[in-house]
Amino acid sequence: MTHNRFPLSRLGRGVAASGLCALGLAVSTSAQALTVISFGGASGDAMQKAYYGPFAESAGVNVTPGDYNGELSRIRAMVETGNVSWDLVEMESPELVRGCFEGLFEPIDWGRLGLGGVLIDAAFDECGVGTFVWSTVLAYDADALDTPPTSWADFWDVEQFPGTRGLRRGAKYTLEFALMADGVPADEIYQVLESPEGVDRAFAKLDEIKEHIQWWEAGAQPPQWLVSGDVVMTSSYNGRIAAAQEEGSNLEIVWNESIYDLDYWAIVSGSDHVDEAYDFIAFASQPDTQAAYSSEIPYGPVHPDAIARLDDEQARRMPTHEENMEGALAVDTAFWVDYGEDLEQRFNAWAAR
Residue 271 inside a domain? The answer is yes
Residues 244 and 292 in one domain: no
pLDDT of residue 32: 63
Alpha-carbon distances of 237 from 28, 215, 222, 242, 266, rounded to whole Å? 37, 14, 8, 9, 22
pTM over 0.85? The answer is no
CA atoms within 13 A on the CB side of 29: 0
Residue 9 inside a domain? The answer is no
Residues 235 and 287 in one domain: no
Residue 5 identity? R
Give the integer Cα–Cα distance in Å for 34 and 256: 40
pLDDT of residue 174: 97
Closest CA to 75 of 97, 47, 101, 105: 105
Give the integer Cα–Cα distance in Å for 129 and 302: 10
Residues 217 and 343 in one domain: yes
Residues 239 and 95 in one domain: no
Residue 143 inside a domain? The answer is yes
The mean pLDDT of the chain is: 89
Domain harbouring 128, CATH code? 3.40.190.10
Residues 175 and 237 in one domain: yes
Residues 177 and 272 in one domain: no
111: containing domain: 17-133+261-322
Question: In the predicted model, is pLDDT for residue 234 greater than 70?
Answer: yes
How much is the average pLDDT of 281-308?
A: 94
Residue 303 inside a domain? The answer is yes
Residues 81 and 103 in one domain: yes
Residues 280 and 339 in one domain: no
- Confidence class of residue 118 from pLDDT cuts 50, 70 and 90? very high
SS3 252: strand
Residues 348 and 214 in one domain: yes
How much is the average pLDDT of 167-190?
A: 96
Residue 5 inside a domain? The answer is no
Cβ of 352: how many Cβ atoms within 10 Å? 6
Residue 165 identity? R
SS3 48: helix
Residue 84 inside a domain? The answer is yes
Do residues 64 and 36 touch, judged by C-beta distance below 8 A? yes
Residue 2 inside a domain? The answer is no
- Sign of the CA dihedral 6, 11, 16, 20? positive
Burial state string for 109-133 with b = 16 or more CB within 10 A and e = fewer than 16: eeebbbbeebbbebbbbebbbbbbb
Residues 155 and 37 in one domain: no
pLDDT digits (tens, 9 = 90+) for 211-232: 999 999 888 899 999 999 999 9
Do residues 237 and 136 touch, judged by C-beta distance below 8 A? yes
Residue 24 inside a domain? The answer is yes
How much is the average pLDDT of 252-265?
A: 96
Residues 35 and 179 in one domain: no
Count how many domains the chain has: 2
Residues 177 and 224 in one domain: yes
